[in-house]
């Protein structure tokens, strides 16, 4: 049974005439009769009684018409709902963002998006860069705001760069005198406060330490940037972070220095999935992101 069987049947039932129904449907009467015969055979019942040139619904036909109307109405509603989703007026949108982007930019973006698109349920999830890529590929999120360094991202993903950011040495003002020693690989009393191993940011920092023989015998690992900054500001500690992270919780107690030599800047941008049908709401959100972040 196909939807066209139900649509043809509904027209015949309303007009009670095969010839008139065929004209309305723009098909031949034999073709219409054949379609109704297929429906009757599948349901194993007679749907019509012939009365002269007209037809009337059988008892089974009346029941089929009742159900057919419900099905066809639901199909029409489904079309309208999908149309609204594709036009960006309703539905849901799932976004994966980096910790720094979430803290620095998402508030204004979400407020503006909700103002422009009140019918769309927006879900923002703070994720690592690796999680953003994985969840895009599995379809768990619609768009991601992540970064690339030297690595190649998955071949099924698209990346649109929005801006680049340098890396900073973060230290409190009382320990600022050790900044030069840290960058020159000389001994110092400070502890490094870093993201745990497994974070892409941590791998860049570890490589920087190795390349420039920076002394890091003591390390504290925490998984939130705000905690890292708090420990640096209030203890004998330092950290190396991307510039966006260093702008969180700005404080007079903290000093920031450009790294010399500087690690390669990381590119912050939009991740989407290649060749996947993109909802209009994704385009609307990406436009807001570009307006907010692109340099």
CATH value at residue 281:
3.40.190.10
| Domain with 212 in it | 167-264
The more confidently predicted of residues 253 and 290 is 290
For the segment 117-132, the average pLDDT, to the nearest whole number, is: 90
Residues 32, 37, 40, 41, CA torsion sign: negative
Rg (CA), the chain: 32
Residue 150 has pLDDT above 70, yes or no: no
Is residue 203 located within the same domain as residue 278?
A: no
User: Are 110 and 182 found together in one domain?
Assistant: no
> What value does the mean pLDDT take over residues 101-125?
89
Kindly state whether residues 153 and 271 are assigned to the same domain.
yes
pLDDT by residue (tens digit) across 160-203?
Answer: 999 888 889 999 999 999 999 888 888 889 999 998 887 878 88
Structural domain ending residue among the three candidates 86, 112, 134: 86
Do both 70 and 197 map to the same domain? no
Residues 144 and 123 placed together within one structural domain of the fold: yes
Judged against a pLDDT cut of 60, whether residue 295 lies above it is answered with: no
Residues 138 and 97 in one domain: yes
- Give the C-alpha separation, 90 to 106, whole Å: 21
**What pLDDT does residue 94 have?**
92
Residue 211's pLDDT band (boundaries 50, 70, 90)?
Answer: confident
Phi, psi of 272 (to 5 degrees): -135, 170
- Per-residue confidence band for 249, with pLDDT thresholds at 50, 70 and 90: low
One domain for residues 149 and 231: no
7-21, 29-43, 71-85: which has the minimum mean pLDDT?
A: 71-85
Question: Rounded to two decimals, what is the model's pTM?
Answer: 0.68
Distances (CA, A) of 162 to 18, 127, 271, 292: 62, 18, 11, 9
Which of 86, 104, 135 terminates a domain? The answer is: 86
- In this prediction, residue 248 carries a pLDDT of 65
Q: Are 154 and 281 in contact (CB under 8 A)?
A: no
Q: What is the mean pLDDT of residues 13-29?
A: 91
pLDDT of residue 159: 93
How many domains is the chain partitioned into structurally?
A: 3
């Amino acid at each position: 049974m196909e939807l066209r069987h139900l649509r043809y049947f509904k027209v015949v039932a309303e007009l009670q005439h095969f010839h008139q129904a065929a004209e309305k449907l723009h098909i031949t009467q034999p073709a219409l009769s054949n379609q109704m015969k297929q429906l009757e055979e599948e349901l194993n019942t007679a749907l019509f009684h012939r009365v002269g040139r007209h037809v009337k619904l059988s008892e089974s036909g009346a029941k089929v018409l009742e159900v057919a109307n419900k099905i066809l109405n639901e199909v029409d509603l489904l079309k309208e709902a999908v149309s609204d989703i594709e036009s960006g007026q309703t539905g849901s949108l799932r976004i994966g963002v980096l910790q720094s982007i979430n803290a620095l930019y998402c508030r204004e973006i979400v407020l503006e998006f909700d103002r422009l698109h009140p019918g769309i349920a927006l879900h923002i999830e703070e994720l690592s860069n690796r999680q953003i890529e994985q969840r895009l590929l599995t379809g768990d999120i619609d768009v991601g705001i992540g970064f690339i360094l030297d690595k190649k991202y998955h071949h099924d993903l698209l990346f649109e760069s929005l801006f680049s950011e340098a890396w900073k040495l973060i230290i409190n003002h009382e320990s600022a005198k050790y900044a030069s020693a840290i960058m020159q690989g000389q001994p110092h009393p400070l502890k490094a406060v870093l993201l745990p191993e497994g974070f892409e940011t941590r791998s860049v920092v570890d490589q920087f330490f190795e390349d420039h023989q920076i002394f890091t015998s003591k390390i504290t690992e925490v998984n939130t940037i705000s905690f890292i900054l708090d420990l640096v500001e209030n203890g004998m500690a330092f950290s190396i972070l991307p510039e966006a992270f260093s702008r969180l919780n700005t404080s007079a107690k903290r000093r920031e220095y450009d790294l010399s030599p500087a690690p390669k800047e990381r590119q912050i941008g939009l991740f989407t999935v290649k060749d996947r049908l993109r909802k209009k709401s994704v385009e609307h959100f990406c436009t807001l992101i570009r307006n907010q972040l692109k340099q």
